Each structure stands twice: as C-alpha cells, then as structure tokens.
Structure 1
Amino acid sequence: MMFLLHFFTFCVYSIVIYLKGGNTMVKYFILLNILFVTTLSWSQETKGKVVSANGPIQGALVTVKNTFNEVITNNEGEFSIKTEDNSVLVISYFGMETKEVFATPATKMTITLETDGELLGEVVIKAKKENKEKTEETAYGKQNRDALGYSTGQKLTAEQINQSYTNVFDVIRQMPGIEIFGLAGQEQKVLFTKNRSINLVYPIVVLDGAVFDQSILNAISPTQIESITLLKSLNATLRYGQLGAGGAILINTQLGEGNALTVAQKQASLLVKGNEYTDTVLTVENVPITESYLLALNKATTFEEAKNIYESQMTTGNYNEIPYYVSVSDYFLKWDEDYSFKVLSNIAREATNNTKALRTYAYKLDERKEFLKALSVYKRVVALRPGESQSYLDLAMASEAAGDYETAFALYYQIIFNKIPNVDCSGIQDITINELRHLLAFHKSKVPFQTLPNDFLSAKLKQDIRIVLQWNNPSTDFEAQFVNPDSKFFIWNHTKFDNTDLLKEEVTQGYAMKEYVVDEKSKGNWRVNIRALEEEPQKNPTYLKYTLYRNYGLPTETKEVKVINLSRYTEKVTLDNFIFH
C-alpha cells in the first residue's frame, strides 16, 4: 500500500449571517480557516452511484474497508473516492442493508442497496397500526370505537387544544365531569366529579404509557400534547388495577421523539410494577482492561519505559485504530500531558477526512478543556459535512467555549431560525435555544442581543441539573437508563426499532444529541447507565460524550465531561453517579 503525503493548505468555509436588529442589518462573516497539514493521497479514483429500488440515495456513506477514507453520496447518489488495487468499499445507509463490493476504478460503479428486512417489517407493522379503523383508549388498550358497547370517557386531540392555555390543568378543565382543586401555579389536583366522596380517590396519570401520580402534570406543556383521554374508574381499574380506582388521565405526547426530555417527566413514584432498580453493575472506570496494548503499557515503571513500549507498538503492531489512540493517550496523561496530546493527535493525521473519527478527537479535546484545539477540529467537520445540522451546533458551542461569543451567537441564531442554506435544523432547535440562553446568561453584553425576540430575553434559564448526550454516529443503537433517588428508573431507547422515525430524522438532518433536565423536585442520588445494543468494528467505533451541568446558567455553574467508547459496553455499565442537593 503506497501512501503519498502532501501538504493540505487550508479550507475557508464562509457563512453569511444576517441578523435584523430594529432598522439595522448586522452582517457577520464567519471565516472558518481550517489547517490540517497532512492528508492521505490514494493511488487511484473510484467513481460510482448508490441507488435503491426507489432511486438514488443521497447521504449514503462509502468507506474503503479497514481505512478511515470515506465520503458521502451527493443528491444524485454519486460519489468519488480514492482507492488502491483490491480495495473493498463498504456502503451503508439508514434502513438499508450494508453492502461490501470490490472497487472498480476502471468503470463507473452502480451499487444497489436493499431495504433492511427486519426494519422494514417494523415499519410495516407501525403503518398498519396507524391506518387501522378509528380507535379509543380502553381498559385493554386501543379498541375499535364502533365495536365498544359502553362509553370510554372523553378525549381531546392537539387540534382541539387552545394554544393560549399555559398549563395542562387549563386543558383538562374544558372536559366534562372534572373538578380541579388548588390555585394555579401551586399544587393542583384533578378529580372526576363522580368519584367525589369523603375519601377522595384521585385519578392516576398515564404519560406515554407510563403510570404517574398527578405531580407529573406540572411538568407537561399543552404544546407537547397529542391527545388527552379520560378513563372512568371501571375502565381504569380493569387496566391498571387498584392504582386506577379513581380513574386515569391518559396523555400522549411527542416527548419520546424530541430532543429535550425532562427527567422529572419520566421518573415518578407510581411507575408500573417491575420498575424498581435492583441491578448491580460496574462503573465505566471499573470495567476490567482487556486490551493487550494497555496491559503492556501498565507494566511500565517510568515515562521513558512507557514511551519505548508505545513506540514499539506503533512500529511493529497493527494499532491504527481510534480506540488505540484514545486509550493510549489517556494512559500517558499520568506521565506527560504534551506527550499524551501527541498520541491523540494521530487521529487528525490518520483520519483527516473522517468526520466520525474527528468528532471523537474533538470530544476528547472538550473533555480536556482544550477548547481552541477542539474549535479547529469542529471547523474541519463543518467543511467536510456542510449539510449536517450537528456540524453547526458543535461549532457554535465550541466557539462559545473558546471565547468567540459573536460567532457562537450568530450560529445559534441561524440554527434557531433555520436560516443556514440547505440545512434543516428543526431537530436541534430546542437544544440550541437552551445553548443561546446559556450564552446570554454569561455574555449578554458581548453579543447583539437586541436582534432577538423579547421572549428569548425574558425567559429564565432554570435547569438545576442538565445532562447532554452526544454521539458521533446518528444511527447507533444504544440505551440510556436513568435511576432516580427512589430507585425507580426509565429507559430511553435509541434504536432503529423503538425510535425509527427519530433515527431517520437524525440521519437525514445530520444530528446526534439529546438533553435531559433534572429539576429541584428530584433531589438525592442519581445514576446514569448506558449500554450499546450492537457490536461495531473497532477501527472507528461510536464514541459518546456525556456532559453534566450543575446549576446550569447560574454563576455557580459547574461542568463535567466524560467521553467513552460506547461500543465497548455491550453489557450495561454506570456512566455516572451524582447527588442532587
């Protein structure tokens, strides 16, 4: 294999941002000057087109197997990639079966991907459910409305909910047979009139299939509601046992598919049976080391001895893998930070055009508070993936961390108002609003805040604990488990089968990020567990960045960052334990 090293000068990616402020127009030119000194030049070029039964596939990933060399297809499904003799191309796209073919530089290739059979079956099942006859929520789930021999209760849909309502109690109050006790803004209770007696029995709340007490109602915004159904006590008792003796308020939302998920909305004291957390799992720090190269390095008793072992591994071993550079770099932190960075920077040299690897590199730089170095990497990612919304949010956050507040502000603005040309930012707008408010909380005087609508300036940023998850591959299957102080848990599944529409949106828009908020009602010991649900080749696996903010947006804010090789943990592990005072 012949590698030709050449000097890669720099790439300037310009975004022109117009912000309207009163009668003036503020123009920002963001010049993203990226300098990566070396890149790989391969001996020949292979061109082709990726298609399915429905036509060309835009955004398919084409990789030269066992390398970091990759490209994505354009809107015509076309690609061009440098290859060598006998190179194998790996072609993948969400919802399609991954395919491997030999590269044929002499002729233009046409590569046809087949639909993933298992995923197709799941989609068909969902479609059938959506298209069946009109249904109602009953004691036994959804049933054909016309076949029911009794009244199920009342129902409101999103279209019937007035947008002027400020809380869910305003919505429920419009339904017949309801009484609400308490004052707005304080503790309120909903009661079905027919259940009023000396011993009041309040209805339970069933939010997206999980059972809660009524305290959860304070956390639900009317704008999030898809439908509300009232089940009278007989129906509710049949379905939920004694918990439903006072009836049930069934609320369906889109929270499971959005970007922001409030932990308080999913953690309650009345969760269904089987939701007690009784597991004993290792923390990520205590998972045994099995990698031979780390076992060898751990035998070193001096810095010089460790360097000799590393240099020998680089010369004689087959260690050109992202986990190797990350793990060995972490190992050398105890000896010498500069040398540790030298090891980590191999990623930038070896994977110059691989955004998955570069994001791993940037995550590690974030973890080490090397914000200026991370900023240059995120600029490179924007240049490589200008059609992905995550590229711009990462760049905005990196700019803020590095002290370039005007650039951060301009990018946040563009994302929130969906003004970046040919980029759909709708999937990350809620997260970006929080990031913008965070910027204003600390650096309002340094940005043109006058260009913002008033509601951005008046809204308070109260998020006692904020957790942000980011990962470098939108289509990765994994689960996150949150355990509250009462040892109750909920699980968020990021899988092609449980969250098909979400993953499709993430892949299409190019983002991979989720935020969670723990409010002041949830004080105590919290645990965050993580588990990968698929195995990956270790050449360039999925990495996950976990960020924990305390007192988010306040002068006393603190921030902790952890970066893990997600694919390493196919058995559940504890990513973090924290106490919320």
Structure 2
Amino acid sequence: MKRLAHLILFVLLILVYTPDAHAQPPDARFFTQVSGVVLDQDNRPVPNAAIIRLNSFKETETSLDGTFTIEARAGDVLRFAALFKKTTDQVVSTAADLNIVLDTDADLLDEVVLRKRKDEELRNTAFGKKRRSRLGYDAQLATRYISPADIDLTTVLQKIPEVATVGNGVNFSFGLRKNRSINSAPLLVVVDGVPVTQSYVNVINPVDIESITLLKSLAATVRYGSQGAGGVILIETKMAANLHNDRNSYTGQLEEQDRDFIDNVQLAESYFSKTTPYYLRTLNQARSFQEAKEIYETLYKEPRNNTLYFMMDCSDYFRNWDAKYSYDILSEVYFQATSNPKILKSLAYQLETNGLPKHAKYVYEKLIELKPDHAQSYRDLALIYAQTGELKLAKSLYVQMINNSIPAVDFTELRSTLVTEFRHFLLKNKRNLKLKGIPNDYLAANTLPKTRLVLEWTDPLSEFEIQFVGPEKNHFAWNHTVFDNSDFIENEIKDGFAMREFEIDKAPNGEWLVNIKNRKGDNSSGRSYVRYTFYKNYGFPSEEKKSVLVPLDKIDEKIILDSFFN
C-alpha cells in the first residue's frame, strides 16, 4: 500500500496540464454531494446500479444496500441504469436525498428467462444438440467434474464415477465402469464431433472445455456402430460451443445477411471519416498550432463538449501539432475522472495506444485503488508491468491470480485467459526470471494459440455484436447483450471483468474479417470504448500485434474493425 500511495502521488505530479487551456467549468462552486438510494418495485435495494451525471465525467454506482453519493448541482440530470431495469433520468433539485425506483424491464426479462430455459434443455448427443425431454435415453452431463485445479483431462475423467481408468500419461486408457474389461469395449472419444483416439485427451486443457457428455445406452451410441459399443464420451471445446451457439442465434436470413455484408459494410477508418463531429471539423480549419489552441479553448467552454469523446478526440487531433499539448488534454481527463473507473480505463487504453505504457501504469494502479475487488484490474496491471519491464511484479501477480489467492477477488472466469497470458509472459521473459516452481507445461510454446484476438470494453452495460466472417463468407457472431448473454454480463458485473478472448487456430485458412455493431441498449452510457487486439504468431519471435480503440457509442451501423489471414 505504501508503494501504491507513492505511485499515486507520482501520477499527480507527472500529469501536469496547462491551466489556461483547461479553465474550470462555470459555476463549479455550486456543486454539492447528492445522496440517495436506488430501489426496485418491491422496495428492495438495487446494487451495482450505475449513476451518471450527464454532460460530465462524474459517475458512481450503488453499494449493496442501494445507496449512492455523487457530486452534482441543482438542474443537473442524473441517469440511473442497472441490469434488467429500465433506465431513468432524474433532474437534481434542492432536495437533500433522492429516492429512485427502477422498474423491471419485464419484456426483456421474460425473453431472457425463456431463452435460458431453452438452453438448459439442450444436451449433446451423437446427432448434435437435442432437447433433453425428447431424448428417450440418458445423456449424462459430466462437466461438473471439471475444477480450476485440474491440470489435464485425465484428472477430470478419473473423477467421473461411471468411468473406469487404467494407467496414466501415454499409457492411460478408460472405459465404462460396468465394462470391467476396458480393452475389449473402451469408451469412444469424440471431440467437437470428430472421433479421436483416447490418447488425444492428453492434449486437451480442461479450461478449454465447454462440456463433457457421457452416452451409455445403445440408443445413444448407435451412430458410431461397433466403435461406440463401450459408450461414447462427447467433449465440446469452448470455441466449438461458441461457433455452434452463434450459428443457432441466426434465422433463415443468414445468407441474405452475408450478401449485405459484402455490399454495404464500411471499414472503420472510412466510417469515422464520414461521421466527423463538428468540433473536429472546426479544429481542422486551424492554420497554426496557436490558432488550433484558441479554437479548442473556446470549444472546451461549451457545456455540450464536457464529454469523454470530445477530450479524447481533441487529444488525438493535437498529436499532429504538439505531443505535450495532446498529453495535457489526457491529463485533464484524469483529473476530471479521478474517481470514475470506466473513464480511467478508457484513458489507460488511450495512453497505451499513444505508446505511453509508463503513464498508463499509474492509471491502472489507480483503478486497483478504486476497485480492489475487480479481477480484471489485476490482470491489466500484470500486463502493463510486463510492458514496463517490472517482471517480478508481473510474475507475482500472475501466480496469485492463477492460484486465486488474492483476498475477496474471484479470478475463475478469467483463469483460461490468465493461463494463456502467463505462458506468453514466461516465454517472452524466461531468461530474466527465476522459474523455480513453475510447471514445465507453462514453458512450452506449443500450448499457445498461434492466432489470438482479445476484446475489452469499458462498460459492462454496453451492448454490441462481434462478427467473424470467414473465407467462404460464412460468419459467426458473439453478442454482448442482455438478451443473448445475460449470464455472462451478470458474472462480469459481479466479478469485475469486461473482456473476452478468441482463439481461431483451427478455423479455415484464408482471409477473415472482424465486424462490430453497436446494439445500443437502453443502458448505454454514451461514452463507451471497445479495444480490439489481434496477435499473430503469439508467443513466437515473429509475433505481430495490432490494437484498435473504438468509440462504441459513435457507431450507428456495422463496420469492419480488422482483416487478417489465418
């Protein structure tokens, strides 16, 4: 904590900005602390509800008892948003406390519950996913035997009561426990629909498994003939499950959507160049740095421009004129949003984009101070420590996260990502680290995906869709929406993360496109960012990396984020 305090003090010293260029907004002296409580229709507290003061950098969230405090003044508008609730705006009056009731979005909740019920009824079978009620035989879901401590699939199979195992490592074999002679009737292993040898289970990482289903009866195994006589164990990886779910989320209009994609979708650069905001058009008229500064100072005083997008856009604009002045504007963002984790995360992403990892590090450390129970805060800090050469700190954080040993923080949802990134970190820095106690499988390059995509976003209530368009123009989608992915969003709010990784090594070879579409949910903050990072030859000396920071709430149609060859 002492080190952290020194670092926070240092950031206050290093983020120096130009006073005359960033005058305080008018009437700042009239701000006061506005308190209140957010309740649902049954008078129960609503935790983790977001409270945003519109046209400002101020934001907070409710505690477990629904209470909140935010700086505001009479006439300001506060926006209240929460998962499964209807967003509402409230004008601040002279009243000391606010009592806000958020109505349940009944239509959305009914749709989500219905979708969950449908999903829960599905079971993997030899002929694909089928409703459990229509199977007529037992398809036992064995995924519950997977735990974060499992280092290989052999360990998992040994925990399934119906499975008898013999040996270990390369000599490991298994069959149904009722078949005492497992050599005569072994279990058939099917991974993502493809029959494989039993030894194949040694190369499957348990964290990559979506589901394990055990098929025991003749009716369940008839598709595989004599191969399935001893039973079938169906293993579905997370990648295959994502692609399966995404295919089934589309209607019969899929082919028509593909043709629309070819004709109409714009590149991100082209789209944003055609939707330039008025303040950038005004700045583009400047003929000198001094003239641009004067224009900016005038624009800054307009209340409508007291937004994150305005500040970030203007900082980017001034990079062509003067790097220090550009940085001064980002410094102002820090000072205005020093208690707002979502905006600070956007700022950290921008500082990294600008090639300032040491400055970004101080913002990430501030984020841990603000949100010590958020899992991703520690992961982001480990990554930036690796960039700034603080390898011991990065290694220590990774070990604690993977072991889930940081008090009051749950890293379960991020474990697969953490293991991948820790392996990458060790391979890149093994000559400069003490590796005693690190398992050998963490040091093998062949355990890393060759092609890796990472999505991160600043607001868990943002709603968007990511599409992956393959060489044959077939496409798959992942939706970050309450309707399509409510469980995921609930978990990210609870555990404090906002990211997803995709590994596409086994995808068809050829050119792939990555699209993004803003689904514009009612809870949109109007200042969200999505960061897309692409890695090729991940973990190898020839590794390539590119990153794009996208202002999500500026997007009104589907656009192309990236293209790459797999």
TM value normalised by structure 2: 0.75
Deviations 1:164-216 (A, max 9, x none): 7569999xxx99xxxxxxxx9xxxxxxxxxxxxxxxxxxxx996xxxx7779x
Taking a change above 3 Å as real, the CA distance of residues 550 and 54 of structure 1, as seen in their structure-2 partners, is: farther
Contact 1:477–1:533 under 8 Å retained in 2: yes
Contact 2:60–2:69 under 8 Å retained in 1: yes
Q: Determine the C-alpha separation between the residues in 1 that align with 2:474 and 2:538.
A: 24
Taking a change above 3 Å as real, the CA distance of residues 13 and 428 of structure 1, as seen in their structure-2 partners, is: farther
- Residues 38-57 of structure 1 aligned to structure 2 (within 5 Å): 43-52=31-40, 53=42, 55-57=44-46
Match of 1:375 among 353, 356, 361: 361
* Paired amino acid for 1:530: I
The structure with more strand, counted as a fraction of residues: 1
Deviation at 1:34, TM superposition (A): 5.9
* Paired amino acid for 1:286: S
Q: Which residue of 1 aligns with 2:412?
A: 426
Q: Which residue of 1 aligns with 2:57?
A: 68
Taking a change above 3 Å as real, the CA distance of residues 296 and 418 of structure 1, as seen in their structure-2 partners, is: same
The structure with more helix, counted as a fraction of residues: 2
Contact 1:482–1:526 under 8 Å retained in 2: yes
Match of 1:112 among 101, 108, 113: 101
Taking a change above 3 Å as real, the CA distance of residues 95 and 448 of structure 1, as seen in their structure-2 partners, is: farther
Contact 2:456–2:532 under 8 Å retained in 1: yes
Q: Secondary structure at the match of 1:552?
A: coil
Match of 1:355 among 341, 351, 354: 341
Q: Which residue of 1 aligns with 2:478?
A: 492
- Residues 113-128 of structure 1 aligned to structure 2 (within 5 Å): 113-126=102-115, 128=117
Q: Determine the C-alpha separation between the residues in 1 that align with 2:124 and 2:403.
A: 38
Match of 2:269 among 266, 282, 285: 285
- Residues 179-578 of structure 1 aligned to structure 2 (within 5 Å): 224-228=209-213, 274=254, 277-278=258-259, 279-280=261-262, 281-287=265-271, 288-315=274-301, 318-458=304-444, 460-519=446-505, 522-534=508-520, 540-578=526-564
Contact 1:474–1:503 under 8 Å retained in 2: yes
Deviations 1:411-467 (A, max 9, x none): 222222222222222221211122212221122344443244454345744322211
Residue segments in structure 2 that go unaligned for 5+ positions in a row: 17-23, 164-169, 171-189, 222-231
- Residues 68-87 of structure 1 aligned to structure 2 (within 5 Å): 68-87=57-76
**Percent identity over paired residues:** 31
RMSD over aligned Cα atoms: 4.6
Q: Determine the C-alpha separation between the residues in 1 that align with 2:370 and 2:139.
A: 52
Taking a change above 3 Å as real, the CA distance of residues 154 and 14 of structure 1, as seen in their structure-2 partners, is: same
Contact 1:282–1:573 under 8 Å retained in 2: yes
Q: Determine the C-alpha separation between the residues in 2 that align with 1:519 and 1:549.
A: 11
Deviation at 1:395, TM superposition (A): 1.6
Deviation at 1:80, TM superposition (A): 2.3
Deviation at 1:525, TM superposition (A): 1.5
Contact 1:536–1:567 under 8 Å retained in 2: no
Deviation at 1:571, TM superposition (A): 0.9
Deviation at 1:533, TM superposition (A): 0.3
Contact 2:426–2:442 under 8 Å retained in 1: no
Contact 1:438–1:461 under 8 Å retained in 2: no
* Paired amino acid for 1:285: E
Using the TM superposition, name which of 38-47 and 305-314 deviates more: 38-47
TM value normalised by structure 1: 0.73
Q: Secondary structure at the match of 1:74?
A: coil
Contact 1:42–1:82 under 8 Å retained in 2: no
Deviations 1:256-292 (A, max 9, x none): 89xxx7x89989xxxx994694323111000113411
Q: Which residue of 2 aligns with 1:197?
A: none
Q: Determine the C-alpha separation between the residues in 2 that align with 1:76 and 1:159.
A: 33
Q: Secondary structure at the match of 2:372?
A: coil
* Paired amino acid for 2:269: E
Q: Determine the C-alpha separation between the residues in 2 that align with 1:169 and 1:521.
A: 27
Contact 2:526–2:553 under 8 Å retained in 1: no
Q: Secondary structure at the match of 2:484?
A: coil
* Paired amino acid for 1:158: T
* Paired amino acid for 1:419: S
Deviation at 1:159, TM superposition (A): 5.8
Q: Is structure 2 residue 90 aligned with structure 1 residue 97?
A: no
Contact 1:264–1:519 under 8 Å retained in 2: no
* Paired amino acid for 1:307: K
Taking a change above 3 Å as real, the CA distance of residues 71 and 227 of structure 1, as seen in their structure-2 partners, is: same
Taking a change above 3 Å as real, the CA distance of residues 484 and 86 of structure 1, as seen in their structure-2 partners, is: same
Q: Which residue of 1 aligns with 2:182?
A: none
Residue segments in structure 1 that go unaligned for 5+ positions in a row: 1-11, 16-28, 176-183, 185-204, 237-247
Taking a change above 3 Å as real, the CA distance of residues 127 and 389 of structure 1, as seen in their structure-2 partners, is: same
Taking a change above 3 Å as real, the CA distance of residues 491 and 126 of structure 1, as seen in their structure-2 partners, is: closer
Match of 1:158 among 132, 137, 143: 143
Taking a change above 3 Å as real, the CA distance of residues 130 and 526 of structure 1, as seen in their structure-2 partners, is: closer
Q: Determine the C-alpha separation between the residues in 2 that align with 1:137 and 1:264.
A: 14
Deviation at 1:115, TM superposition (A): 2.3
Taking a change above 3 Å as real, the CA distance of residues 13 and 499 of structure 1, as seen in their structure-2 partners, is: farther
* Paired amino acid for 1:420: I
Q: Determine the C-alpha separation between the residues in 2 that align with 1:44 and 1:547.
A: 41
Contact 2:55–2:305 under 8 Å retained in 1: no
Taking a change above 3 Å as real, the CA distance of residues 308 and 349 of structure 1, as seen in their structure-2 partners, is: same
Deviation at 1:49, TM superposition (A): 2.5
* Paired amino acid for 2:143: A
* Paired amino acid for 1:94: L
* Paired amino acid for 1:289: T
Deviation at 1:251, TM superposition (A): 6.2
* Paired amino acid for 1:63: I
Q: Determine the C-alpha separation between the residues in 2 that align with 1:293 and 1:538.
A: 22
Deviation at 1:324, TM superposition (A): 1.4
Q: Determine the C-alpha separation between the residues in 2 that align with 1:379 and 1:530.
A: 30
Q: Which residue of 1 aligns with 2:177?
A: none
Deviation at 1:372, TM superposition (A): 0.8
Deviation at 1:41, TM superposition (A): 7.5
Q: Secondary structure at the match of 1:449?
A: coil
Deviations 1:317-367 (A, max 9, x none): 731111112222222333333332233333213322222211111111111
Taking a change above 3 Å as real, the CA distance of residues 13 and 540 of structure 1, as seen in their structure-2 partners, is: farther
Deviations 1:97-126 (A, max 9, x none): 223334467544443333222332124314
Taking a change above 3 Å as real, the CA distance of residues 535 and 526 of structure 1, as seen in their structure-2 partners, is: same
Taking a change above 3 Å as real, the CA distance of residues 298 and 249 of structure 1, as seen in their structure-2 partners, is: farther
Using the TM superposition, name which of 513-522 and 524-533 deviates more: 513-522
Deviation at 1:142, TM superposition (A): 3.8
* Paired amino acid for 2:305: Y
